[in-house]
Structure formats: structure tokens, C-alpha cells
Structure 1
């Protein structure tokens, strides 16, 4: 009996749907808590090609929610370990591990090479970067965010509005799982919903999850669904970029916080006169830069972009 027999019994899948999954490619940005359920479910369903991107190594504090990993994996690259688990689960698929941050330099080509993107990163800068690039490329994005006892998952881009159309302003807080805490089961719940949405998009299911946001709150056991098909794209957005020598770069972190600025030519004070160069505001996560950009853009006549401190080295593991 085929390993996919139970899902092929579904009218929405069948032999034709299973062939579509086998021919599909999925990029998963982040190999942490959200990816822990999403990756095995995608691999188990028979998605033919999966790319896992994550720059980090496994830490003991990850294990309560990042259940792809064991104590023996502490210190090992998350992407490589996650990819190995997927290959062990399904030898019929191809899994590629990229041990790198999701940066503006490498992301466009990576997105263009996949049918759908799962945003499983604990970084709103990565989420907005993925949304901007997916919108431009016409690639569906399944993005999720979890904190504390709740979160959301939504289907963006492709034929739907972007993440910016739903959340156009800078986040109120820069809190993350590392700084504010999170419950493991709610992460697993939302990560599994990401996998389900992705499979439905790949199968061409109707109604499509694109243009839909689902919010989950396990404190009071509330679930809410929002349709955002008609949400307008913002008229002005601050893109996340990799700063270059032709930019006017301002490192917003003080020297005590960041002795080495995001770029060698960066200054640490805001300009007091107009400049024809693109103004790039940089900080650790991008949040400080975004809030500064919102205020500074009221008087600055030129283009303003954002930069979040990231690494750029790529290590590939493409065995299947």
C-alpha cells in the first residue's frame, strides 16, 4: 500500500493531487518551533522538494517547543538536523539545508526557485522581507507568529494582499519567544496550520487559504478568522535591504551595543540636511530603524530603507 494512501482517499487529493505535491517545491524560512510540526507534515505528505533555511544551532532552551531536535543535537546546526530528520521520514523527497540568515541578497533568487514560502522565522524583519519579495514574485507566503499563549497564521501574496496590507505599521513591541516566552503546544498548533494551508495552496483547493488570517488564543480558547482579500497595499513602505557603499547608512545602535556597525561606512548620527543618497537606517532587529524611519520620513525628502544585522555565509547540504 502506498505511504500516501490515506490522504489520496480524499477527493481533494487523489492521484492527481499527489502528483502535484511530488512536483512541488517549498521554502521553509526558520527551522524552529513553527517548523517542528510543519516540516514533518510536508515531508510526510510527499512534497517533492523542501528547502530549510536557518542560521542557528540547537540550544537546550529550544527543546520544549522545537521538537525536531533532541538533547544530542544541542550545538548542531538546526537546518542540517531538520533536513536529516525529513530524509529519514521520507526517502522519496529531496531536502536541502541552508545554514544562513534570510538576507535581502540571497532571498530573491531563493524565493523564485520555489512554489510557496513558509515563514517560520522568529523575526518580523524576515517576515516583512519575505512578504515584499513574495508579493513582487507572485509567490504565495504562509506566514505565522506566536508569542506567549497565542498567535496567528495567514495566507499572503500570490493572489492575495501582502503581510504589509494587514500589518502596515511597525510592531508595537519587539518581543520574541526568547524575550517574552511561549508555550510549546500553541507553537505546534500554529505550525501544523501552516503546513495545512501550504498543502491546500499546492493542491489548488477551494476555497484557498490565501487572503485568510486565523488568530489563536489558548488562554481563553478563542479562535477568530479574518478575510483580507480587499486589504489595500500601503502607499509607502520601508523595505529591508542590505546596505551598500552608495547608501547613506546610519547605525542606530550605540557603540557600546554594537562596536562593529552594520557597514564599514555607517555613521551613528542622523543627517541634519538632505542627501541624494538612499538613507538606510540600521539596528539589530529592524524595529528601532522602522520606528525612526516613520518619524524621520515626515521631513526627509528621499528614499528610506531599513537594515537588520544579519549574517551572510551560506553552507549547503543537498543530499536527498
Structure 2
């Protein structure tokens, strides 16, 4: 136990907490900037098993913030390169690399047998897919997001409100690392917070971070914290659907422009989100509405407009980039 002597010496952890970490099995979705500190701290702390899911390969533009990777890793699947780095750090930690994109069709299988889920995907759709799955299974979720100089980390589900309860509405604008940029140290701060929350939950530390959200502003170097333990779950909200679950009986709409991607199914309608609302198209009786776009953001906006005039079932599909990566 000499490897873990310094953390076992922390009274709140001790040998009992260390034993809990060794028995733990966690799912980490995303092997990028947030996952770099998360994986290193969880692996270094002696978490027994990690299932790591990511569909992407390492690119040169990743290296300024995704500090697990080296120049020689460019072109290698991120989950495999990250798994190799953590195994080299601590051979006691077993890392299962899964080269795949998360979607509603595989989320339950990926979460199966895990004690905790960490959302490091930097994907609007993945966060809500994981939140819905964890709430249904009463499994704890530590989710985080960073854009530009701002970020947050929070502990949801598993006895606390879901991420969907805390963020029930689509913001007027959702940024991304690709569009707005991001500074590596801000990602490191949020990823470290995410790792601390995960270790506290796995080891049973008191007080628990469950039902808490921590924010960080890289401009002012200020942080904030608020509790959301009493936040009610929304009565309804659009759920994500896997592309494989679409049928010809659906009212299917592709919200992407013609120059963005080919029509996703021959029977789909190509419409903008603004087409929905008063006087706009609605599904026939008995149909479900399936709204598709790259990331799910336009589909959510269209669902809000359609839901204002139609009370049927609405599903969202995040198709990702044409190369199949997570949006």
C-alpha cells in the first residue's frame, strides 16, 4: 500500500476509503481535455476499473489541453492512447478502451456494472443522454463542461436531481471548444474538480458533493458553488433517440442544410427549426416527431417550437459530424 500511503493518511479517506476505490468501476465518456486530469487522478488514486469511451483520434489541435497525449499519439484512437498512459501510470488500474460514440442505443450497456459515470464528452447530446440513463438506473453522474474561460462541474442523479432538472431549458446560445476556443488550464481546473467529486463519491467522503455544482471563471479566477438538491424534475422534455431506432412511420425532419450533409433518410423532410410553431407542420395522429441535426441543439430548439403547438412525443437525434465523431 506504499503507493497510496499519502492519501490513506488523509483521515477522511483512510484504509476503508482506499478499499472502496480499489473495488470501484467507473465509466468515463470522452477522452479529451476534461478526461486528462480525471483519468490521471482516478488512476493514480487506485480506482480499480475504468471503462473509457471515445470515438475520436488524437489531433495536433488537441495537444494544448489534452495533456495525456504526446505528439507521437497523433492519429491514434484517443481511448486507446489514454488507456495506455493510465496503465503506465498505475498498472493496478484496469482500463477498458472502447472506440465508439455514445448514443441512446448503447448507453445502458456502457453504464452496465459501473458504480459511477463521468461525463467528459464536451457534447450537449451526450450529457443529456447520460443524465437520462443515470436517473433511470439511480446511478451517480459527475458531469462537467468548459467553453472559453468558463466551466462547471456537478454531481447529479443517484439520489440527487438530474442534469436535465438543473438545466431544463436550452440556452439562447451554446458554445463549443471548436467554435469559441478554450484555454487548457481552465479545462484542467474543471477536470480536477470533476475528479475530486468522483473520488469523494466513490470513497464515501462526508459531506458528499452530490447535488452540488461548482463554477469557475478563468477571467477573474473566481469560483462559486450552489446546491440543487431540492430542484424538481421537469414533467416532460425531449429525449434523445439513436439513429438506428428511426422508422419509416416517424415524422422525420433533418434540420441540417443541404450543403451541410446529405438527407439522413430518403423519407425525411429537410426543414429549418424556424419552420415549426403556429401554422407550421405537425405530425399525423399516432406519429412521433423525430428531429435531427448535428449536435442536437437545433433539434431541441425545433422541439420547443413544435411542443408549443403539438402535445405528441418528440425525440431528438444528434447525428454528429459526417465522419461519425461525437458532435
Shorter-chain TM-score category? over 0.9
Mapped pair 1:303 → 2:313:
yes
Secondary structure of the equivalent of 1:3? helix
Q: Quote the offset at 1:198 in angstroms.
A: 0.2
Higher RCO by CA contacts (8 Å cutoff, separation 6 or greater): 1
What's the TM-score, normalizing by structure 1? 0.94
* Partner residue in 1 for 2:198: 198
Give the aligned CA root-mean-square deviation in angstroms: 1.7
Query: What is the correspondence of 1:133-172 to structure 2 with a 5 Å cutoff?
Result: 133-172=133-172
Task: State the match for 2:29 in structure 1.
Answer: 29
Displacement after TM superposition at 1:150 (Å) = 1.6
Question: Counterpart in 1 of 2:290?
Answer: 280
Establish whether residue 292 from structure 1 lines up as the match of residue 302 from structure 2.
Answer: yes
Per the alignment, residue 52 of structure 1 pairs with 52
**Counterpart position of 1:101:** 101
Give the Cα–Cα distance (whole angstroms) in 2 for the partners of residues 273 and 306 of structure 1.
15
**Divergent runs of 4+, >4 A:** none
Contact map agreement 1:112 1:137 (CA 8 A) in 2: no
Q: Is the 8 A contact 2:21 2:46 kept in 1?
A: yes
Deviations 1:72-126 (A, max 9, x none): 1111110100001011111112110011111111001221321001100111110
Q: Could you say if the C-alpha distance between residues 225 and 77 of structure 1 is closer, same or farther in structure 2, counting changes exceeding 3 Å? A: same
Question: C-alpha displacement at 1:256, in angstroms?
Answer: 2.0
CA distance in structure 2 between the aligned counterparts of 1:288 and 1:279, rounded to whole angstroms:
14
Q: Show the counterpart of 1:127.
A: 127
Gapped regions of structure 2 (runs ≥ 5): none
Match of 1:247 in 2: 250
In 1, Cα distance between the equivalents of 2:198 and 2:282?
47
**Ranges in structure 1 where 5+ consecutive residues have no aligned partner:** 315-320
Name the residue aligned to 2:188.
188
Distance 1:94 1:64, change over 3 A: same
Q: Secondary structure at the match of 2:3?
A: coil
| 1:260 to 1:274, Cα distance in 2 relative to 1, 3 A | closer
Aligned length: 312
